[in-house]
Structure 1
Amino acid sequence: MNLLNNWLLPGQVAYVVVCVAATGVLLLLARWDGLTLADLGLDAAGVRRGLRWAPLLAGAVLLVLVLLLAVPAGQDVFRDARAVDLSLGQVLWRALVRVPFGTVLLEETAFRGVLWAMIRRRRGTAWATAVSSVLFGLWHLMPSRGLNRSNTAVGEVFGGGSAGVVPAVAAAIVAMIAAGAVLCELRRRSGSLLAPAALHWAVNGFSYAFTWAANRWWLAG
């Protein structure tokens, strides 16, 4: 899947199509394994709980981004070439289509939905969270390859040259393992797949929007 999205079919529309198709396959696999909607956190009660969590999580992400932007030490986080050079239309596409219906849909269904539920039923919550989080971290190996060159804050820590690639990727994987554990715990506490999906979308989608806007109206000088 990562090969398709990062090398073979890197286009924006193709990315979403591949993610939606892969999500469908995962849901068929879950049904074949005997998982219910409740096991996946997608039953009616789970959806209602997730909808209650969503605005709180989105608000928390917005607050963190505003604080980072307001503090000089945090502003380098927003100097990221992956969003700075986008047009307004491209930013809206990424935040409102690519992220929720591509990245979040596939990754949450895979790691906090199907995989987590399968392992939890067989080995318990701790194993489900550990395995899911490690695999989620490794999933980001390929997308993190150019992180030290595209993001100023990461480049300052690890260096922007080829020597900084390996440590930057390793740090990104560790960070994503930790993020995966947080999302799994949110999935457990909320009883809903929508809660980690909302947090995941808020972090990715708002980051695109804040980075794009900040470099035009806040950090331009």
Structure 2
Amino acid sequence: MSWSAGRVLALVAAVGTLAASTTLANRVLPGWAYPVCGLVAALVLVALGRAAGCSWTDLGLRGLRRPALVGLLGAAAVALVFGIAVAVPGLRTVYQDGRVGDPDLAQLLWLTCGRILFGTVLIEEVAFRGVLPGLFGATDERWRWPPILCSAALFGLWHALPALAIGRNAAVHALFGATPVVVLQVLAMAAAGVAGIFLHLWRHFGRGVLASVIVHFTTNAGGLTLVVVLR
């Protein structure tokens, strides 16, 4: 891959867009604007990728059938894992999360189909499994570690602010106890980076970001729903 000036500038602009987006979403904007911020940032990133010469295929935004089928297969696997966790009493502490509160049905729908889908999943998949890998030179033809690892590392950094509240999860608190917040933050960011590689597997096999979107949404929305149901 040739590193043209346009591609480098697009990469810098993409990282800057993501930094501004996570700061606005987590520290500045009101809750209702969270998904709007994610949607706008995703559109800006796609525009940057296209301006830098990335094709729709490079960005993982071409094709629907294969990505959808692979994504649904991944969703079924996630649902199986959730079922096992619910069936084993000792694993239920994973779903005791103080960050969730006690939402009613309308609030749960807003959290899953509004905040999670557009404020979290859409921006993260477009950015870290679509635009950034495309700018770094990832292809669907073969697995290339450098662009995938670079994107996963940035995905970990993206979680720096949300990771500050990770200690409010009951399972995390039981496992790490009085571990300093900064250590938990670093561990959460590292875990997010590993999750980024896992999600890119679905994007790669599905030949499109839609596959990882479905898996990611099932994981986050399903996990939140279980937290509420099992309270």
* 2:207 alignment partner in structure 1: 191
Q: How does 1:148-163 map to 2 (within 5 A)?
A: 148=167, 150-159=168-177, 163=179
Runs of 5+ consecutive residues of structure 2 not aligned to the other structure? 1-20
Give CA deviations for 1:139-187 in whole Å, capped at 9, x if unaligned: 1111010111x2100011222x5x5312221211111111011112222
* 1:91 alignment partner in structure 2: 108
Q: How does 1:131-210 map to 2 (within 5 A)?
A: 131-148=150-167, 150-159=168-177, 163-210=179-226
Structure with a larger share of its residues in helix:
1
In structure 2, the CA distance between the partners of 1:69 and 1:118, relative to structure 1 (3 Å rule), is: same
- Give the whole-Å Cα distance in 2 for the aligned partners of 1:86 and 1:143: 20
Give CA deviations for 1:49-98 in whole Å, capped at 9, x if unaligned: 11111221111111111111111221100111222422221111111221
Query: Alignment RMSD, CA only?
Result: 1.6
* 2:22 alignment partner in structure 1: 2
Give CA deviations for 1:5-35 in whole Å, capped at 9, x if unaligned: 1110141x20011111111111110110111
Percent identity, please.
37
- Give the whole-Å Cα distance in 2 for the aligned partners of 1:129 and 1:26: 17
- Give the whole-Å Cα distance in 2 for the aligned partners of 1:121 and 1:84: 40
Q: What TM-score results when the alignment is normalised by the length of structure 1?
A: 0.89
- Give the whole-Å Cα distance in 1 for the aligned partners of 2:157 and 2:163: 10
* 1:219 alignment partner in structure 2: none
Contact 2:94 2:169 in 1 (8 A): yes
Match for 1:2: what amino acid? T
* 1:109 alignment partner in structure 2: 126
Contact 1:2 1:139 in 2 (8 A): yes
2:88 equivalent to 1:71? yes
Contact 2:68 2:206 in 1 (8 A): no
In structure 2, the CA distance between the partners of 1:206 and 1:140, relative to structure 1 (3 Å rule), is: same
Contact 1:83 1:91 in 2 (8 A): no
Deviation (angstroms), 1:121: 5.4
Segment of structure 1 superposing worse, 79-88 or 95-104? 79-88
Match for 1:154: what amino acid? V
* Matched position secondary structure for 1:133: helix
Segment of structure 1 superposing worse, 18-27 or 78-87? 78-87
* Matched position secondary structure for 2:120: helix
- Give the whole-Å Cα distance in 1 for the aligned partners of 2:219 and 2:138: 29
- Give the whole-Å Cα distance in 1 for the aligned partners of 2:40 and 2:130: 16
- Give the whole-Å Cα distance in 1 for the aligned partners of 2:113 and 2:138: 34
* Matched position secondary structure for 1:81: coil
Runs of 5+ consecutive residues of structure 1 not aligned to the other structure? 216-221
Contact 2:138 2:148 in 1 (8 A): no
* Matched position secondary structure for 1:41: coil
Contact 1:138 1:173 in 2 (8 A): yes
